Structure 1
Amino acid sequence: MDSAAILLLLTVTASALLQVLGTEGVAALYGETIVVPCNDGTPAPEKLIFVKWKYEKDDGTAGDLLIKQASSSEATLQATDQYAERVSIDDKWSLRITQASLRDQKTFTCMVVSGENVKEYPVTVSVNKKPSPVQIMDRSAALQKDKATTVGTCVAADANPAATITWRKNGKPLVADGKTILVTPSMKLDPATGLSTTSSTLQYAASKEDNVSVFSCMSTHMLANQEAELEPFPIHYPSEKVSLQVLSFFFYMKGQKVLVENSDTYTLASIGREAGGEYKCSLADNEKMESSQSLVVSYLDLSVTPTGRVVKAIGDSFSVKVEKSASGDATVSWAKNGMEVTQPEFSRLTYADAGVYVCELSMPGLTRHSSFELMVEGKPAITGLSKHRPDSAKFKVLTCEATGVPEPSFHWSVNSTNEESSYVNGKATHKIRVIPRLNLTVTCSVSNRLGDDTRTINVSSVFKEEKDNMGSQEESEDQSKLIVGVVAGLLIATAVVGLIYWLYMKNSRQGSWKTGEKEVGTSEESKKLEENHHSV
């Protein structure tokens, strides 16, 4: 901005308030010219000084683009970055940006400076691009009956926003069910352009009737919908009328040879961890025709001591013993009330240590659990006893706090109303309201099956407190009246003393002329004083 524009801007902003109006939106096409209107194309104000366009950078700072004064037909370019060769301003004060890309999806602001106002009009730009023509790739040569086979992969490339792909059979949408219809979608973002490529792979378990079915994929986008079709597929399936007769096999298991007739299966029941090893079978009439299979038996054993419900006293020590056995590497983890913790080990138990602990032993394919519930008990102990009188209230609130498990019960030595209680993690609180007419000593007692505790507190009468407060106020008013009277008396006494002193000085001065003492003055003044003296 040149010095004249800066001076004008300072002059205007000194007397006008900057106004930032609501943000508008503009949608542009990828690769085309973006036209960003200033104030939605409203004509410029009569006293326009200049219009300036700027934008918000990725780091949140403002970037200047160009400025055009009302008195000039040419705009002054201020941009030094990617916009230096792509921006211009038209006769309607609109910003024009050529070769739109996704990097232009920003907020651009038009600043209108006039003799009366400085207004800013933010405009958010979005850049859209329809996808390239939809294509079906990796098309299968045939489909399998009752077996999910890949039909093909539908691709809608280079779009913003990303396109949506749906599959159809004979014009009707196919809905994935995880069995006969499987759809695997994916999306990739081009790091250079920011454009999205959407893909969708269809797997389909065909029936015999699908040999005339037409499969197609639909690309749906805000700018255009596209469809691609496939020719019908041949359907492959095995013979449906096959009979198989198994005569006999030899099965070899741990050095034993067993003949199995009229079956091709041998079942091992209730196998143990020692059952692992190599197993083999062969034809009964030709033992050279054989096959083998290695059998791996995985096992996982976990034992935690203690189990069930465990009751401990507060302050006791507590630890657990874990025994494990596994066929491979196993991991031990602990949780308390569903939250991950370390293995329980306490030198002095607190109420907060109580909860349900679960030990988990796991390895790929196997998991074992063992749990116990830890209960920490203790006789009650009062931790706090307090009193409080709310503002202007005719009652007092007494609060008794205690710890203990099982939950302690509270007993007070006075009648009360509006009882409130809570109990969380071994901490109990009990509140009551009392209206003491006399000074009291109140006792709070707590107890459970393990013991009890007692504490007292002195509570003064609410009526005596109000009377004392009123007495203090009246005494303060009497003292104020007394102070005012004393001050008035002192002022009167001071006036009397001043009057006496003035009379004394007057008489003293008249006596000085009677004795004929000389004072500085004219002869006429002395003569008048002598005459006044004799007349008196």
Structure 2
Amino acid sequence: SLCSLLCFCLGWYTVNSAYGDTIIMPCRLDVPQNLMFGKWKYEKPDGSPVFIAFRSSTKKSVQYDDVPEYKDRLSLSENYTLSISNARISDEKRFVCMLVTEDNVFEAPTIVKVFKQPSKPEIVSKALFLETEQLKKLGDCISEDSYPDGNITWYRNGKVLHPLEGAVVIIFKKEMDPVTQLYTMTSTLEYKTTKADIQMPFTCSVTYYGPSGQKTVHSEQAVFDIYYPTEQVTIQVLPPKTAIKEGDNITLKCLGNGNPPPEEFLFYLPGQPEGIRSSNTYTLTDVRRNATGDYKCSLIDKKSTIASAAITVHYLDLSLNPSGEVTRQIGDALPVSCTISASRNATVVWMKDNIRLRSSPSFSSLHYQDAGNYVCETALQEVEGLKKRESLTLIVEGKPQIKMTKKTDPSGLSKTIICHVEGFPKPAIQWTITGSGSVINQTEESPYINGRYYSKIIISPEENVTLTCTAENQLERTVNSLNVSANENREKVNDQAKLIVGIVVGLLLAALVAGVVYWLYMKKSKTASKHVNKDLGNMEENKKLEENNHKTEA
């Protein structure tokens, strides 16, 4: 400090002490042999002395003068070192050590300097927000209880802020407590912010002198909300769909890039020059195709700041002609058309009875198999959920038509008569037999498919008969007959009987012949048996004669 430098230049001895510590001042004099006593005094601003401590070299006693500010704070050692406890700012004085002999007085002055570290600086009275293009108080940086006073510096993002006309204004002031003589420093910063200050930290520091030299203490960071006007607006369509279709609800949302963002906007609908004032959203419900167009929104106070969005409301119409339940006669022509009207190309699929057709149906001459349930279905692939379908239930009617066929069994004993019927609604079949004959099998019907089915009976006529097949539906009654001859059947039966009689007669003759042969055989067997027995008797007699002859010879 300037005082320390001056003291050094003048050769004065200086003791630096921290506020509240103990000040220790050596006497800095060699004690003479004939010393009588030593004293300490300090000098008032006007130069008059105030004695505060006395020590006798002979009696070894210590006395402290009645000085109120040093009561119970002094201590004088045997080597005449003076200690002052609880250092105060008022202790900054010129103290003098005096050693007195009978014939001389020796003095050694000491300058006492007391330092008090200030409190950590703090940014207070902070602005709730800063606004671009406006010079506004940012806050106060305060540091308290400093001695000597210090200097306050402001920083933006770690760099020193210097005063700049119209942009940076720094007002510094200091106050001293009359009792403690400690200083409070306050620095007020007025600042014109820009968008570059968003999330930018501001700090301040206090620089002060301490016993060991100059020091600096920094405050905590402060970040301010920066207000700036909206320069651009954007419009959004919610929910964010790839495509909008008729019946959807859509919400337009307008946003401004200012801080704070604007809360109200003007919304412009297609073909409407006047804006609709609303909050930052505007909802359209159950939109139709005529809602297609450009939608805009702008700031209320600055209509030139505007944004737009093009919205296409997709639609899909399907017209099937004819549709519903349609009844036509067999052989009729029936033109069918499925007309599509859509906001973009649509796919068309034809189905008949839930089976996909390769092409659209076309009927120049209706058949029974053409009847069924037809569906024309279309969809926009890019638009989810946009599908349409119409149906046609085609009924093909026809009067009954009959065709009769005859089939003879290979045995010739029976004949199968079939009545083929075609018509819709399904005709009922009734059989009538004229003449005698037995029905071997009751009528048997085939499944009714594509307007056709048949009924058949199996008969074995004993004489010529006529079979009549009657088919009837709601449109008409149709009759057809078939004559069935019995001649062919009788001849075959007679031929069979003759064949059976021939077989029977043949079997009887064969049995008679077999009987005669057996009788002759048995008779012959008996005659042969007698001859055999006779021959066997002669053989026995000859054998006995031979044996006797042998015995005689012997």
TM surpasses 0.5:
no
TM range (shorter): 0.3 to 0.5
Larger Rg: 2
Q: TM-score, normalization: structure 1?
A: 0.39
Q: TM-score, normalization: structure 2?
A: 0.38
